[in-house]
Structure 1
Amino acid sequence: MKFFRICIAAVVAFAPFGAAADEVVLKSVSTWPSSYAVVKEYLRFVDRVNETGQGVVRIEHVGGPEVVPADQQDTAIRNGVFDIQFGAASYYSGVVPEADALKASELSPIEARKAGAIELLSGIWRKKLNAEVLGWMSGGIGFYLYLTEAPKLTDEGVPDLRGLKLRSSSAYKDWFEAMGATNVMMAPPETFSAFERGMVDGLAATGINFRDVGVTKFIKARVSPAVWQIDTLIVMNAGKFDSVSEAARKVLVDAAIAQEAQTMDAYRIQADEEAAEIAKSGVQLVELSADAGAKYKALAHELVWERLARNAPDNADALRRALSR
């Protein structure tokens, strides 16, 4: 109860003054701080809503994990303490195991929406999280393996990680084990000190915010191709979404669709810039051969679909069909 009293106090503290009487003001929170590249892109969605929804709907972004811990934001959204949340769906995969489908998707967010997958996901999110999925902001960006030394390769040309210890979480555990690595489970804030003390030999991270992790100086190699996609969603409390006017819902959905497209371009540029910057800092960009890269990706993706089949058998097949080419 103390957590919710704090959250409610935060909402009241950030309440706007002088807003138009008929303008709906929505409170949003994000998994990460505003300094993160992905959150900066989300804030462009907020700006888009506020520009196109003047007098109808407006979003006030309250903050990130300093306001509500990342692992408690799903509860805050479900209970309507906040109206909109932006962050990684994997943070609440214990509640919505179908979040794995985003990671394993072969389709971009734009393709997924056209195929009806966003509508399918939203139906699941409503049942399990009391939330409407407004948009998926992956930008088509995947995850790379970052290591303190260039990896050994098997006879098939894929990384042989036997003997290596990798900073891990439930999202990476099966994948790392399949390649022979030892998982060292830890929260993100512990990552820097783990590298500093030699406790880990690498980690997986996306292609656009790796430098935000702060461990570039320890890394000597990045393995390509990237696998999976980032699972960053914009979700809204379902009751709140249903209660606002049709005009407000249209502003929100149209802004999410436009942002999905803009994010594809923005993240592509950021990914190219990040690759150039880390290469300049001395990180070797290790490119697997076409055959080895295909096997490397297939392993990562199949493990996620297998996990989804175990954890969400009722929806796994439908999601795989909807998100596969």
Structure 2
Amino acid sequence: MPPFEVGNAVRTGVVDMANSTGVFHANLVPETLAMTLTNKSMAELRANGGYALMDKLHRDKANMVWLARLSDGLEYHIYSNKAVDSADFSGFKLRGVPVYRPFFQALGATPLQVAPGEVFTALERGVVDGYGWPSVGIFDLGWQEKTAYRVEPGFYNVEVSLFMNRSRWEKLDETQRAFLERQVAWIESLNATAVEGVEAEKAQQLKAGITPIELPVEEASRFQALAQQAGWQALEQLSPDQVKGLKSRFGD
């Protein structure tokens, strides 16, 4: 199923449950982008009301239940075929998704939406100079063959979650819900180990010829500040009524 159709499939009940990311259904629940902007763990969000607020927004706007978050502390990176030594990416064409499109624009780059299955060819033909992607996973897609650099530091907090059709959830009896909630607690307990493979992946990238570019300290700070500023400004435009409550729970 094309990734940007998954949210609507859950909303309408074509599928009962999906392992997906809110990034792919931000057209239905724009506030879901806060789940990627946050640096807070899922445990913190459950404690401070962030989870309850985001779950309610999903129920009200998209007939969906936010069951669990399956990743925590995993960053995105910019991978590129052009070297850079600052937070100025003017002239770069970068493949992106809605959650970090405003950030790429703040860096001076031109963001392009390209389906994952087409990124290899886009890199090969020079349609894009690079792309945003998590610290892990590029070998699954073969992109290391067309990638020269990985920019450090990373940015944002990769969000992958379980979403369920609300109508289907409400048809479950108490025993079924209790069972599912126990599985949610168990799988979220594994988030603490989610980043254990990152250093091994980066070592594999280096071996494959992907050189890490460490931005100078001041530029790295500017890079990360731009990420947060651009992300929250975009969310304020998308959901002005909710951004204050979201930022108080999901923000720094």
TM-score norm. by structure 1 comes to 0.73
CA distance in 2, matches of 1:302, 1:245: 43
Structure 1 position 270, deviation (Å): 2.0
User: One-letter code of the match for 1:146?
Assistant: Y
Structure 1 position 234, deviation (Å): 0.7
Kindly tell me: are residues 290 and 264 of structure 1, through their superposed partners in 2, closer, same or farther at Cα, counting changes over 3 Å? farther
CA distance in 1, matches of 2:30, 2:188: 23
Matched, 1:164 2:92: yes
Kindly tell me: are residues 253 and 200 of structure 1, through their superposed partners in 2, closer, same or farther at Cα, counting changes over 3 Å? same
1:118 to 44, 51, 56: 51
Matched, 1:303 2:230: yes
Partner of residue 256, structure 1: 184
Matched, 1:193 2:126: no
Secondary structure of the structure 1 residue equivalent to 2:128: coil
Partner of residue 248, structure 2: 321
Matched, 1:142 2:70: no
CA distance in 2, matches of 1:208, 1:261: 20
TM-score norm. by structure 2 comes to 0.93
Secondary structure of the structure 2 residue equivalent to 1:114: helix
Secondary structure of the structure 1 residue equivalent to 2:154: strand
Structure 1 position 112, deviation (Å): 1.4
CA distance in 1, matches of 2:184, 2:218: 36
CA distance in 2, matches of 1:274, 1:205: 13
Structure 1 position 226, deviation (Å): 1.2
CA distance in 1, matches of 2:188, 2:73: 10
2:164 to 233, 236, 241: 236
User: One-letter code of the match for 1:303?
Assistant: A
User: One-letter code of the match for 2:131?
Assistant: L
**2:76–2:134: 8 Å Cα contact kept in structure 1?**
yes
User: One-letter code of the match for 1:143?
Assistant: Y
Structure 2, gaps ≥5 residues long: none
**2:19–2:160: 8 Å Cα contact kept in structure 1?**
yes
CA distance in 2, matches of 1:137, 1:249: 19
Kindly tell me: are residues 184 and 72 of structure 1, through their superposed partners in 2, closer, same or farther at Cα, counting changes over 3 Å? closer
Secondary structure of the structure 1 residue equivalent to 2:199: helix
Structure 1 position 171, deviation (Å): 2.9
Backbone CA RMSD of aligned residues: 1.7
Partner of residue 72, structure 1: 5
**2:23–2:97: 8 Å Cα contact kept in structure 1?**
no
User: One-letter code of the match for 1:261?
Assistant: S
Partner of residue 28, structure 1: none
Secondary structure of the structure 1 residue equivalent to 2:163: strand
Structure 1 position 214, deviation (Å): 1.8
- The count of aligned residue pairs is 252
- The runs of at least 4 consecutive aligned structure 1 residues that moved more than 4 Å come to none
Map Cα deviations across residues 15-73 of structure 1 (whole Å, 9 max, x no partner): xxxxxxxxxxxxxxxxxxxxxxxxxxxxxxxxxxxxxxxxxxxxxxxxxx2xxx32222
Structure 1 position 97, deviation (Å): 0.3
Structure 1 position 107, deviation (Å): 0.2
Structure 1 position 162, deviation (Å): 1.6
CA distance in 2, matches of 1:229, 1:209: 15
Partner of residue 111, structure 2: 183
Partner of residue 132, structure 2: 204
Max Rg structure: 1
